[in-house]
Structure 1
Amino acid sequence: MSCRDDASDALLRLVLAGGATSARRRLLERHGTPAAALAAGTGAWRAAGLDEAQIGALLTPPPGPLIAGRDWLTGSERHHLLGWDSPDYPPLLRESPNPPLALFVDGDPALLWRPSVAIVGSRIPSAGGCDNAAAFARALTRVGIVVVSGMATGIDAAAHESALEQTDGTTLAVLGTGADQAYPRRHGRLRDRIAAGGAVVSEHPPGTGAHPSHFPRRNRIIAGLSLATLVIEAAERSGALITARQAADCGRDVFAVPGSIHNPLARGCHRLIREGAGLVERAGEVLDALAPQLAGCARILRDRLDEPEQSPPTPPVENPLAGPRDYQKLWNALGHDPTSMDRLTERTGLTTAALSSMLLAMELDGRVSVEHGRYCRKG
C-alpha cells in the first residue's frame, strides 16, 4: 500500500468513527495527520473529546464500510478524499461553521477552490422557475463561476443541467448520500455527467443511502462552499431557506428572485428579501454585488492557472501582463472595442474554458471589463 493509500486509509477510519465532527477535527489539528491521530491512542482521543462510541469505532472499524471506502478510493483516478488536514481542503468551507471532517469527491477537486454560487429552490417549481434557474446558471458559468447545488429535482436539476449544457460549463453537486449514489435514483445519469465534467461531493462514505437528517447537513456544505446563495422559487417552508440561513451564518451573501404575490412558491423568496436578502433579476446583479469577494479569489485563481503570484501593479504598456504566453496572446487579441468570446476563441486558438478562467482573473485584477458577454481592455 502506498503512502497516499496509508494516509487515505487512516482518514477513512476517522470518518467512519462518526459522531461529533468537532472532536475529530480537534484530534487532527493536535496531531497533524490522520496516521498520527490514530497512533496517538485512546488517551489522546479522549482528551480531544471523542466519546466511547467513537473510540470503539477507531479501535474496531466497521469492516463493510471500510472495505467499500477503500474499494471506491482505489477504483478510479477521479475519486478523492480531502481531509481537514489537507492543504487542498476548500478554504471557504474551512471558514464556515461546523465544516465536515472530510469530503469524498468524484470529479475534479480543484473546482472546490473556484469562485462559486449556489443556486437552490423548490423541488416542484413552475416552468418559469426552471427557466430562471437555467438562465442564471448559464450566465454565471459563462464568466467562469462554478454553479453549486444539491442535485434534487426541480431548481437544483435545472441549474446543473444548464451549466452542463454550456461549452466547458462547470457545476458541483453536494449530496446527502454517498458520492457514488444518485438521489433521487432517476438522477443517476445526471450524477454521472456532473462527476465527469465537474465534481460530485459528499461528507458521507460511499454506499451511504438517503436519510432525512442528511439533507440539512448537506445544505450547510452547499452554503459553505459558495460565495453566495441564490434562491429561485421557494415555499415558506423549504429546504432552500435552510441553505439561505446557513449561508447567512457563514457571512455569505444571500440573493432571491422575486415572483408573483399569487405564487405560493414566491413566498419564501419574498420572506428572504424582507429579511435582507438581495433582490436580483439577472446574473449581472449577482456579480456586481460579489465584486469584493471575487477580488479576494484572484490570487487563488492565479495560482490554479499557474500565473505568476506577483504581477506588477502598473504593467508597462509594451508588456502589460508580463506573464505566460497564453495571457499575452489573449491580451493581444483584446482591443478597446468589446469583443465576443467566439471572436476571442478564433483569434487566440484557446478553448472557451481557458479563456473564461483567464478573463475572470484579468477582470478581477482590473485589466479587463465585460458587458453583455463582450470583453475589452479596461482603461
Structure 2
Amino acid sequence: MVNTPEELGSWLRLSLTRGVGNESARKLLAAFGEPAQIFAQSESTLRQVVSATQARHLMSPPEGWAELTQDTWAWLQSHDNVNVSCAVLTLSDTDYPAPLLLIPDPPLMLYALGQTAALPSLNAEQCLAMVGSRNPTPQGQANAREFARSLASSGLTIVSGMALGVDGAAHDGAMLGAGPQALATIAVVGTGLDRVYPRQHRELAHRIAQRGLILSEYPLGTPPLNANFPKRNRLIAGLSQATLVVEAALQSGSLITAKQALEQGRDVLAIPGSIHSAQAKGCHALIKQGAKLVESAQDVLEELRMPDPFAHVPLALDAATAHTETEDELLSLLGHDPVGLDALQARCGWPTAQLQAQLLELELMGQVGRLPGGLFQRIGVG
C-alpha cells in the first residue's frame, strides 16, 4: 500500500499523464522500475519505450496533479473509525489483489475503502460476482437478495457494482447471510471513493464499508461518467471465480460483465425467468450460449464444486405467513409470469373490487409484486 506522499504523487502522476494508459504504463514500469525512476529519464530515453507524444507528456506534471495528490493523501489519513480504513494500492504492492493480476488490463492504481486488512488474502475462489438489471422484476429483486444471502452463508464473498436493482439487492443479501467476521461483499464502483453513486445507496455504501470492501480504479473526484461503468465490469468479473447473472435485458451491462468473465476464463451462470419478461431475455441468451442454468443456491455451489452447508434450505423466498384459501387460490391462478388485471379476472371470475383487495393484501405480505404497465407477478415459489 502507498505509504508516503511522494510515492503516492509519483503513481498519480503516471496514472494521470495524458495519453499514457495502463498498457503503456506497464511497459514503462517494466523498463525503469518505480514511477519516480520513470520521471528521472530523459525524453529521448522514454521514446525507446513509448511514443514520442507520450514521452513528451511524461516530461511535465498533469494539470491538477499536485492538488489531487494532496487531497488523496488527506483522504488516506481521514478515516479514524477503527472499523473502516482506506488504502491506495499499486501494481507493485504485495497487497494488490492477486486475481486482478491475472486479467488482461489490471488497474495501475486501486483505491479501497472498508475492511482493507482483507486485501492481501483475497482470492477468486472465495468470490462470486452477481450482476443484473437496474430495473428488475419483483421476483428478480427477491432472487438476487436470497441467492446472495444463501451463498454468503456458505462462505462466499459476493462481488457486484452497487448499482440500483439487482446489484444493491445482492450486496444487501450478502450482508444478511455472511458470518460476523466474514468479508461479506465487495462493491466495485465507477466513481472516485469520495462520492457515492447512486445517491440512494449512501446508507448501503456505509454498511458495505463496515462488512466488506468498496473498490475503484478511479481517482478521488471522478464523477459518474457513463464510460466508466462498463470498464469497471472487468474488475467485477476478474475478482470472482464465476459470474451469476440474475436478470438482464439483451442490451445490458450485465452481459458485458458475463462476456468479460468468459474472456478471462471464468464460468458464467444464469437464472432463467419468464419468457414474457424483457429482463429475462439476456439470461436466456446466455443459457443458449452455454451458461449454466441455475435454479437454486445448491446449483451454484455444485457448479463451483463447493460443499453445500444448507442443502435442506430452499433457495427462493418461502411464504412468511399462512394464507387463506382465497389467497392460495389467487396465487395459484397468478402463476409465475407477469399478468394483467383483466386476464387475471378472466381466470378467477371475481368482482374487480374483490380481486384488487386480495392483490393488495398479497402485495403487502410480499407475495405479489406490481410491475409497470399494470401487471402483477407472484414472488417466490410454492
| TM-score of the pair, normalised by structure 1 | 0.73
How far did residue 373 of structure 1 move?
A: 7.6
Deviations 1:302-361 (A, max 9, x none): xxxxxxxxxxxxxxxxxxxxxxxxxxxxxxxxxxxxxxxxxxxxxxxxxxxxxxxxxxxx
Task: Report if aligned partners of 1:16, 1:65 keep a CA contact under 8 Å in 2.
Answer: no
Deviations 1:224-275 (A, max 9, x none): 1111110011011111001100110100000000011111111000000001
Q: CA 1:43 to 1:185, structure 2 compared with 1: closer, same or farther past 3 Å?
A: farther
Take 2:36 and 2:150, find their aligned partners in 1: how far apart are those partners?
44
- Superposition pairs of residues 267-346 of structure 1, within 5 angstroms: 267-291=281-305
1:113 aligned to 2:116?
no
Take 2:74 and 2:3, find their aligned partners in 1: how far apart are those partners?
16
Q: CA 1:68 to 1:53, structure 2 compared with 1: closer, same or farther past 3 Å?
A: farther
Q: Name the structure 2 match of 1:220.
A: 234
Q: Which amino acid aligns with 1:9?
A: G
Q: Percent identity between the aligned chains?
A: 42
1:230 aligned to 2:244?
yes
Q: Does the residue aligned with 1:241 lie in a helix, a strand or coil?
A: helix
Q: Does the residue aligned with 2:194 lie in a helix, a strand or coil?
A: coil
Take 2:297 and 2:76, find their aligned partners in 1: how far apart are those partners?
37
Deviations 1:34-86 (A, max 9, x none): 33333344344433326636753662233333332222223237121111111
Q: Name the structure 2 match of 1:372.
A: 311
Task: Report if aligned partners of 1:69, 1:206 keep a CA contact under 8 Å in 2.
Answer: yes
Take 1:41 and 1:11, find their aligned partners in 2: how far apart are those partners?
18
Q: Which amino acid aligns with 2:212?
A: G
Q: 2:110 aligns with which of 94, 103, 107?
A: 103
Q: Structure 1: which 5+ runs fail to align?
A: 295-362, 364-368, 375-379
Task: Report if aligned partners of 1:17, 1:58 keep a CA contact under 8 Å in 2.
Answer: no
Take 2:59 and 2:176, find their aligned partners in 1: how far apart are those partners?
44
Q: Greater shift after overlay, 78-87 or 10-19? A: 10-19
Q: CA 1:271 to 1:73, structure 2 compared with 1: closer, same or farther past 3 Å?
A: same
Q: 2:100 aligns with which of 71, 75, 93?
A: 93
Q: Greater shift after overlay, 127-136 or 33-42? A: 33-42
Q: Name the structure 2 match of 1:359.
A: none
Please give the root-mean-square deviation of Cα atoms over the aligned residues, in Å.
2.4
Q: Greater shift after overlay, 153-162 or 103-112? A: 103-112
Q: Name the structure 1 match of 2:338.
A: none
Q: CA 1:86 to 1:371, structure 2 compared with 1: closer, same or farther past 3 Å?
A: same
Q: 2:169 aligns with which of 128, 144, 158?
A: 158
Q: Name the structure 1 match of 2:77.
A: 74
Q: CA 1:38 to 1:73, structure 2 compared with 1: closer, same or farther past 3 Å?
A: farther
Q: Name the structure 2 match of 1:13.
A: 13
Q: Does the residue aligned with 1:147 lie in a helix, a strand or coil?
A: strand
Take 2:152 and 2:18, find their aligned partners in 1: how far apart are those partners?
36
Take 2:94 and 2:49, find their aligned partners in 1: how far apart are those partners?
22
- Superposition pairs of residues 192-271 of structure 1, within 5 angstroms: 192-271=206-285
Q: Which amino acid aligns with 2:12?
A: L
Q: Which amino acid aligns with 1:34?
A: P
How far did residue 279 of structure 1 move?
A: 0.5
Task: Report which of the two structures shows the higher radius of gyration computed on alpha carbons.
Answer: 2
Q: Name the structure 1 match of 2:352.
A: none
Q: Does the residue aligned with 2:39 lie in a helix, a strand or coil?
A: helix
Q: Which amino acid aligns with 2:6?
A: D
Q: How many residue pairs were aligned?
A: 298
Take 1:90 and 1:373, find their aligned partners in 2: how far apart are those partners?
35
Q: Does the residue aligned with 1:99 lie in a helix, a strand or coil?
A: coil
Take 2:236 and 2:151, find their aligned partners in 1: how far apart are those partners?
17
| TM-score of the pair, normalised by structure 2 | 0.72
Q: Name the structure 1 match of 2:351.
A: none
Runs (4 or more) in structure 1 with deviation over 6 Å come to none
Task: Report if aligned partners of 1:16, 1:61 keep a CA contact under 8 Å in 2.
Answer: yes
Take 1:54 and 1:73, find their aligned partners in 2: how far apart are those partners?
30
Q: Does the residue aligned with 1:182 lie in a helix, a strand or coil?
A: coil
